[in-house]
Amino acid sequence: MPRTLPTTDDLRTRARAALDRVGVTLDEAVGGGGSEREVCHARTPITGERLFPVPAASAAGVEEAVADAHRAFLAWRSTPAPIRGELVRRLGELLRAHKGDLADLVTVEAGKIRSEALGEVQEMIDICDFAVGLSRQLYGRTIASERPGHRLAETWHPLGVVGVVSAFNFPCAVWSWNTAVALACGDTVVWKPSELTPLISLACARLLDRAAEDVGAPDGVHRLVIGDRAVGEQLVDDSRVALVSATGSTRMGREVGPRVAARFGRTLLELGGNNAAVVAPSADLDLAVQGIVFAAAGTAGQRCTTLRRLIVHRDIADTLVARLTAAYAKLPVGDPFDDATLVGPLISTAALDRMQESVARAQAEGGKVLAGGGRRFADIAPAAAYVEPVIVRVGAQTGIVREETFAPILYVMTYETLEEAIALHNDVPQGLSSSIFTRDQAEAELFLSAEGSDCGIANVNIGTSGAEIGGAFGGEKETGGGRESGSDAWRAYMRSATNTVNYSGRLALAQNVSFL
């Protein structure tokens, strides 16, 4: 088990080297004109300490960024979609060339273990490939007209400037899902990343700028605005921002949604999850244990798709729980750059406080802690938050179990009938991801049916996290209803127009209406 941590100086050197290779010069890093609103500090959860000051965009800088993106949109929307795809193809090439550098920055700033950081960059590469293909597949339908000599069709047009607001836990993949698809769709993007991850966003923005230069795309197809809540609010309230695609807490979405709706803008919301897995008596327990441990403890419980609730048939509950607690006892917690580590740090000590409060609430509500909870490395890195993932057995789906705590806490409950399990499963405010472990096909199909999981993602014999980019990603209820990434999520980034073309030479009104 890793016993030491890198020093903040080591991490600074590593981050600076990655930024250099990508082409980011920190001193000139943040464009967007005007005086700076304030300085934001890049920091690392590996030691909990600050790395570099990064200038944040001023109000004037945000205004300029939106104006630039809007100006670029007016040209970009008329660029043929397959030509737009060339920009995304070039971005994908640069992401491939800098995969290791970007993964380094993800690990430094978000604390992800190496394999997950590389996986996040791979998601970016994958969505670029997807969006290049999409640039030749923005299909509209031709519809049978009720009138002779008429053609009825649907056309998809670019929408405008897309404001992308992303969170610390997927500091670059979520940006890429939005940006690669938006660019192929003919939109331009203004990105407000999490204040906790400015360096990776500078690196991504630099690579996209380079791609735009290489293919001759208009300046302004993408702008980065680093800053606090005020920057996000400016995007939310700017009527030139046609779509606000925001990933974060349900609390954030509750503010963003109505504000954008008040100006009749569009939103795409990816908010909290409280994801569960049902484990049926027929489940392959070897597979279930592996799937559950990755989904619940992976990324230190900081995915929106993290497994937070386990609903286990009572006949196998003790066996499964014993196997899970044994697996948890061996989980290597520590330096995410160490290949042996599986659980890196939480993003902050504030996140650790919230985790401890939730565990205490669960205990007060009758829960029993079966594994984990100990803090690690507090002596050598008091500003960092390393914690052993926790399993809590609960008797009922009480208050805290119904909330999302962004930390590795797995609540375990039991059930007797599948109907009861599904009812428990759906009885939370959130609706992002779900899964069932079973070898009984009828059970699996029921879980996937209209009477089954009410989530945007429903899986069989695989955990709740780690979706591929090819499917649409998002969830229902307090998760916000948005769909990003693959399938036909692109439609959210475009506007459709219905066209009726009369080539008959005479006026025929629909529904046989006569007039004149």
Whichever of 167 and 243 has its CB closer to ligand UN1, that residue is 167
247 lies in the site for ligand UN1, by CB under 6 A? yes
Over the window 381 to 410, marking each residue x when it contacts ligand UN1 by CB under 6 A and - when it does not, the resulting string is: ------------------------------
How far apart are alpha carbons 99 and 124 in whole angstroms?
A: 10
Within residues 294-313, the interface with ligand UN1 by CB under 6 A covers: 303-305
Taking the least distance from each CB to ligand UN1, the nearer of 179 and 247 is 247
What are the DSSP calls for 19-61, one per residue? HHHHT--GGG---S-SS-S-EEEEEETTTTEEEEEEEPPPHHH
Residue 170 lies near ligand UN1 (rule: CB under 6 A): yes
Tell me, yes or no, if 404 is annotated catalytic: no
Binders of ligand UN1 in range 109-128 (CB under 6 A): 123
In the set 86, 120, 195, 270, the catalytic residue is 270
CA distance 382 to 379: 6
| Residue 201 interacts with ligand UN1 (CB under 6 A): yes or no | no
Helix, strand, or coil (residue 472): strand
Instruction: Kindly state the helix (H) or strand (E) to which residue 351 belongs, with its residue range.
Output: helix 349-364
Q: Which of 15, 30, 42, 174 binds ligand UN1 (CB under 6 A)?
A: 174
Strands 150-158 and 494-502: antiparallel
- The answer for residues whose C-beta is within 8 angstroms of residue 116's C-beta and 6 or more apart is 298, 299
- Token pair, residue 488, equals 């036909």
486 binds ligand UN1 (CB under 6 A): no
Nearest-CB residue for ligand UN1:
467
Q: Which residues pair with 393 in a beta bridge?
A: 368, 412
Q: Give whichever of 124 and 321 is closer to ligand UN1, judged by the CB atom.
A: 124
Give least dist CB 437 to ligand UN1, A.
17
The torsion region of residue 331 among left (phi > 0), alpha (psi -120 to 50) and beta comes to beta
Tell me which residues in 450-479 interact with ligand UN1 (CB under 6 A). Answer: 465-467
By C-beta, is 120 or 209 nearer to ligand UN1? Answer: 120
User: Greatest CA span in the chain, whole angstroms?
Assistant: 88
C-beta of 306 vs 414, nearer to ligand UN1: 306
Tell whether residue 193 is a contact of ligand UN1 (CB under 6 A).
no
Could you tell me how many residues of this chain bind ligand UN1 (CB under 6 A)? Answer: 11
Backbone angles phi, psi at 348, to 5 degrees: -160, 165
d(CA 372, CA 391) in angstroms, rounded, equals 7
Q: Which is nearer to ligand UN1, 104 or 120 (CB)?
A: 120
Q: How far is the CB of 465 from ligand UN1 (least distance, A)?
A: 4
Nearest distance in Å: CB 116, ligand UN1: 10
Q: How far is the CB of 449 from ligand UN1 (least distance, A)?
A: 22
Burial class of residue 515, CB neighbours in 10 A (0-12, 13-18, 19+): exposed
**Interface positions with ligand UN1 (CB under 6 A):** 123, 169-170, 174, 247, 303-305, 465-467
Catalogue the active-site residues.
270
